[in-house]
Structure formats: C-alpha cells, structure tokens
A = this chain, B = another copy of it.
Amino acid sequence: MTASPSKGERIKARVIRTASNLLQRQGYNGTGLSQIIRESATPKGSLYFHFPGGKEELAVAALIAGGTEISNKLHEHITAETEPGHAIEFACAALAEELSTSNYEKGCPLATVALEAASRSEPIREVCASYFQGWQDIVYQMLLSRNVEPVQAGELATLAVASLEGAILLCRANHNTEPLERVGRQLRILLDSTLAQKK
C-alpha cells in the first residue's frame, strides 16, 4: 500500500507544476510569484511555507521537476527504439508535437530560464547545467553501449543535445516544426553512419 500524499505535499506539487509551466512559457523575469499563486490557487502563506527562499527556490524546484521529466522521456525513447539514430529522431518528433500543441510556447523547461538567469543566480545555473549534462550522459551511454569510442560518443552526445535545444529555439521563432524535423533527420543519418562504421 502506498501512502496518499498529504494535503501539504499535494499543494507543493501543484505549485511546482504551475511554476514549471509558467517559467517555460514566459521565462524567469516574466513570471511573478503573484501569477503562480493565482494560477495554482495556493494561499501566499502556503507558498512561502514550502518555499521560504521565494521565487529562486521555487524556480529551482520547478527546473528539477521539468528537467527530470525530460530525462525520463529521453530514457523512454531510447528504451523503445533499438537504433540510437531512431531514438533521437523520435525525441525530436515528440518535442515537435509538444511545441505545436502548445502554440510554440512549450519546448524545453530549462532553456529560457538558463539564458536569462544563469549569470544572476548560481543555484539556477547549477541545476540547469546539471540537467543539460544529465541528458548528454543518457545519449553518451547509449552510444557507448554500441561501441562508439568514449571521446566521439561524448562529442556526439553534446551535438545531439545542443542541436535539439537550438532546434526548439528555431521552431519557437518560426512557429513551425520544420527545424526539429530537419535536425532529427540529420542526427539520425549521422548516428546511423557512425554506428555502421563500428560493425
């Protein structure tokens, strides 16, 4: 039997979910605590009880929640597809779907806040850097398991995560999903040909 979450835990989870959603759409400076309080229907006192550090502490919790979700999805794609190239192309397609259904407001839960706040807040910079590294590690391990040399696997993992992030940016500016489709296709071709040379 799993214990049900307490009322306090439910409130905390709701605040984090609301904050993650707003930060992704509007960024750090564009999102005020008052909007988070309103949209999560949480009393101000509750918010400060759970996040005595205020907006920065809540943002860190929201980035951890969003970053973990992306890590889990990446793992899922890699488990579901036998070929690394297809797994990455599938991840691009899933991101494209999320972008178009959110009217190009959602994409990466970290990128906007990282660009705005990495120079201003060390806790925010650290959590963003750690998830960006974690996503690269997932791709790196997938390539290592297919006998790609460690240096090449590491650089290809960075290229994959960087180009997904950049493609999300281009899609949000374009208001279409073409950049992610193009990047997904080229990464698939690159990974397929890298692995073909290892056989």
Which residue on B lies nearest to A131, using beta carbons? B173
**Cross-chain contact A175 with B125 (CB below 8 angstroms):** yes
Chain A 163-199 interface 0/1 with B at a Cβ cutoff of 8 Å (1 = within)? 1111101101111001100110111001000000000
A115-B119 in contact given A158-B182, A166-B161 (Cβ < 8 Å): no
Per assembly, the copies of the chain total 2
Which of A156, A163, A179, A182 lies at the interface centre, i.e. has the most chain B CB atoms within 10 A of its CB?
A: A163
Main secondary structure of the interface of A (DSSP, over half): helix
- Contact among B27, B110, B169 for A162, CB-based, below 8 A: B169
A111-B169 in contact given A129-B174, A175-B125, A186-B156 (Cβ < 8 Å): yes
A96 CB within 8 Å of chain B: no
Question: Could you write out 9 A-B pairs with CB less than 8 Å apart?
Answer: A29-B30, A29-B116, A110-B173, A112-B112, A129-B175, A158-B182, A159-B186, A165-B166, A166-B166
